[in-house]
């Protein structure tokens, strides 16, 4: 009995669910060249978070991956991953696009 | 001691909730340029918390019932998808465009990121729209 209860509790505890909060997309270029992608995330414990500055590095990082180029068709996925019955979660923003070089 | 903890809790309770993040096209040709940030905010009200506070201020059962009724009536007009708490002016984000252009008069803007977030405090919240971007040099060499 205790073993079954333990397994059920563990299943609930270690399961994780992902919410897709929003998606946005800019105009897609006709000529699709190299794809670049970056991700920024932040761990949140017990819901305490005081800024969203982790997103600051997304644009410079994408620019580094496409140096002296233009990134078009930018897809932004804003999602939240819940771990451990919502006490621990990860906010994740995945940004990808096509690097166009002249 | 209890008062100290209560004040400490209220003073430090200022969690930021992100509702939406969006990134625009990035033109890194010739460098990103100067970084800028503009922000608009409006005070939001958490009806549930406001009614709880109002109920705690009275011992009259009838008054508490009335507060619940008022809360329920207002809530009925707040249905549908929303981000953050309710605000009483819906045009607070309209000045963003002019604010961005005042930060970058050359108009050559790239790497725009838009973040919609709430700064939560007891009962009220700051409903924020934050835009960050990079201003490229104009013809005269000025990025202002």
Question: How far apart are the CA of A24 and the nearest CA of chain B, in angstroms?
Answer: 6
Between β-strands B109-120 and B124-135, what pairing exists: parallel, antiparallel or unpaired? antiparallel
Residue A15 has pLDDT above 70, yes or no: no
Residue range B61-108, pLDDT digits in tens = 888 888 888 888 888 877 778 888 888 887 888 889 999 999 998 889
Under an 8 Å CB criterion, which residues of B touch A? 14-30, 32, 111, 113, 115, 117, 130, 132, 134
Q: Which one of A41, A63, A77 would you mutate to disrupt binding with B, by most B Cβ within 10 Å of its Cβ?
A: A63
Label residue A13 by pLDDT band (50, 70, 90). Answer: low
Segments forming the whole domain that contains residue B101: 12-135
Q: How high is the pLDDT of residue B140?
A: 55
Q: With beta carbons less than 8 A apart as the criterion, state whether B24 and B111 touch.
A: yes
Question: How far apart are the CA of B42 and the nearest CA of chain A, in angstroms?
Answer: 17
Cβ of B19 within 8 Å of Cβ of A21? The answer is yes
- Average of per-residue pLDDT across B122-132: 92
Question: How far apart are the CA of B130 and the nearest CA of chain A, in angstroms?
Answer: 10
Q: With beta carbons less than 8 A apart as the criterion, state whether A45 and A90 touch.
A: no
| Spatial distance between the Cα atoms of B12 and A94, rounded to a whole number of angstroms | 30
Residue B81 tokens, joined: 């998808």
Q: Is this prediction's ipTM beyond 0.90?
A: no
Question: How far apart are the CA of A102 and the nearest CA of chain B, in angstroms?
Answer: 9
Which of A51, A69, A76 is the closest to B23 by Cβ?
A76
| Spatial distance between the Cα atoms of A29 and A62, rounded to a whole number of angstroms | 17
Does residue B109 form part of some domain? yes
Label residue B15 by pLDDT band (50, 70, 90). Answer: confident
Average model confidence (pLDDT) across chain B:
84
Residue B144 has pLDDT above 80, yes or no: no
Residue A45 tokens, joined: 């414990």
Does residue B24 form part of some domain? yes
Q: How high is the pLDDT of residue B87?
A: 87
Under an 8 Å CB criterion, which residues of A touch B? 21-22, 24, 26-27, 47-52, 55-56, 58-60, 62-63, 66-72, 74, 76, 78, 91, 93, 95, 97, 102
Contacts of B81 in chain A (CB under 8 A): none
Residue B59 has pLDDT above 90, yes or no: no
- Average of per-residue pLDDT across A32-44: 92
Q: Which residue would you say has higher pLDDT here, B137 or B1?
A: B137
Q: How high is the pLDDT of residue B142?
A: 55
| Spatial distance between the Cα atoms of A71 and A100, rounded to a whole number of angstroms | 6
Domain extent listing, chain A: 16-100
Residue range A76-90, pLDDT digits in tens = 999 998 887 778 889
Does residue B115 form part of some domain? yes
Structurally, chain B folds into a number of domains equal to 1
Q: With beta carbons less than 8 A apart as the criterion, state whether A75 and A58 touch.
A: no
Does residue B53 form part of some domain? yes
- Average of per-residue pLDDT across A12-22: 78
Residue range B17-49, pLDDT digits in tens = 899 999 999 998 888 899 999 999 999 888 888
Does residue B29 form part of some domain? yes
Label residue A72 by pLDDT band (50, 70, 90). Answer: very high
Cβ of A70 within 8 Å of Cβ of B25? The answer is yes
Cβ of A68 within 8 Å of Cβ of B22? The answer is no
């Amino acid at each position: 009995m205790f073993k079954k209860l333990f397994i059920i509790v563990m299943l609930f505890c270690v399961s994780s669910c992902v919410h897709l909060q929003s998606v946005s997309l800019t105009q897609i270029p006709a000529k699709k060249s190299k794809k670049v992608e970056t991700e920024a995330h932040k761990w949140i414990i017990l819901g305490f978070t005081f800024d969203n500055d982790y997103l600051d590095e997304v644009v410079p990082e994408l620019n580094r991956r496409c140096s002296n180029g233009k990134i078009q068709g930018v897809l932004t996925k804003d999602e939240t991953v819940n771990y451990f019955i919502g006490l621990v979660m990860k906010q994740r923003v995945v940004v990808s696009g096509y690097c166009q070089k002249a | 001691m209890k008062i100290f903890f209560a004040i400490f809790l209220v003073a430090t309770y200022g969690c930021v909730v992100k509702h939406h993040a969006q990134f625009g096209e990035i033109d890194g040709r010739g460098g990103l340029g100067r970084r800028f940030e503009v922000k608009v905010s409006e005070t939001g009200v958490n009806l549930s918390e406001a009614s709880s506070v109002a109920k705690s201020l009275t011992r009259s059962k009838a008054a508490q019932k009335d507060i619940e009724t008022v809360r329920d009536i207002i809530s009925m007009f707040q249905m549908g998808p929303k981000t953050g708490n309710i605000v009483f002016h819906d045009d607070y984000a309209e000045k963003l465009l002019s604010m961005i252009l005042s930060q970058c008069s050359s108009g050559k803007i790239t790497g725009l990121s838009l973040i919609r977030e709430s700064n939560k405090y007891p009962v009220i919240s700051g409903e924020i729209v934050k835009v960050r971007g990079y201003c490229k040099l104009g013809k005269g060499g000025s990025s202002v």
